[in-house]
Structure 1
Amino acid sequence: MDKYDVKAAHKALYAPSSKDFAIVDVPAMRYLAFDGHGNPNTSALYAEAIEALYGVAYTVKFASKAAGRDFAVAPLEALWRADDPAVFASGDKDAWDWTLLINQPDWITDDAVASAVAKARAKKPLSALDRLRLLSLTEGTSVQILHVGPYDDEAPTLHRLHHEYLPAHGLTFNGDHHEIYLNDARRTAPAKLRTVLRQPVRPA
């Protein structure tokens, strides 16, 4: 049985260079998604949402494998938004809205997710399960770079993106700031964390 892995199928999107920004074209993709607000370091909802997402993601995977189509569970991703994008560079995390994501193969349906949620709830009735949804997202033209190191050290790179790269290339924001967490932060030293930083853009 061939095993689908989104990181291999879309290598340019999941393995960018850390040396400089690159422009990519992101196609329509599907995700398990959960919306929330506030500081991810202190929010109990943020932690519960991650637990619910992974519980459902693995349940979906095992059901799909049993039906003859296997895939690797994708890394955690997140969309970040705020009324003032400057809060991302300043680190004002209490002002952040977020959507946690786990990519899903295109053959995964709403019914498959609903079934997985029901099975996950039977094992552990997390309240976050009621807010999971299947999201279709098309980001299109985007600028991205690989950040290596602690999450709190992203601010200089984002400042450079917002105030140098985008103006120099005649570009502006066209969607939420997007991060892809290629490591498990619970098992990886902060200095070795690898995070894709992505910003959908359009001509200014």
Structure 2
Amino acid sequence: MALFRPRGHDDVDPFTDLLFNALLTFTFLFLVALLLLNPPAKTGIVDPKAEFLITVSWPDGNPNDIDVWVAGPEGEEVSYKRPQAGLMNLDRDDRGMVNDTQVVNGVEISNPINQEVLTIRGRPAGEYVVNLHYFKTQAEGGDENVDLARVPVTVYLAEVNPQLKVLFYNTTVLEKEGDEVTAFRFTITAEGNVTGINQLQKSLVKGPGKS
């Protein structure tokens, strides 16, 4: 098989021909390598972005433990006991000041923020119930600890896509350990829209058949 020879250069020696064809081969292999390093995106990859965001927060530095519980259309529930069910995910379970410190370069750093975050990564139709539960108080009795035991809890529901939109925002005061309130309920229609936001009470933590 004859090597490729540039037109008009019949007097070029064979060694130059060899170098020229080697250069062409190297260039071809380089282009193939670039294609292999950037393969086409695979189909079927799940995009983990959320459709709805539920955030529960209470005062920074408050040592009390507040939990969020959410029940979905099929009766599935998400809480610290079961952080994932269907398309609902408890992304952050906050226990007040417990486990809120870490050592970085020999220095203990405290995170005073109290916040639980739950996401819904789709729009399954039906009603959702969002409850707040006062799991544990760090106040140990006495009139001087009354204010420490009472916890104002702020909760909001936001629609993330196609743009961030706050659908509900409210603050509720939990008076003592064991209190449970329905912060809000809402319904996602078959078309994916949110409607029927209300505060009709329903127990999730201590409902029928629960201890």
Q: Same fold (TM over 0.5)?
A: no
- Greater C-alpha radius of gyration: 2
Structure number with higher strand proportion? 2
Question: TM-score if structure 2 supplies the norm length?
Answer: 0.27
TM-score by length of 1: 0.28
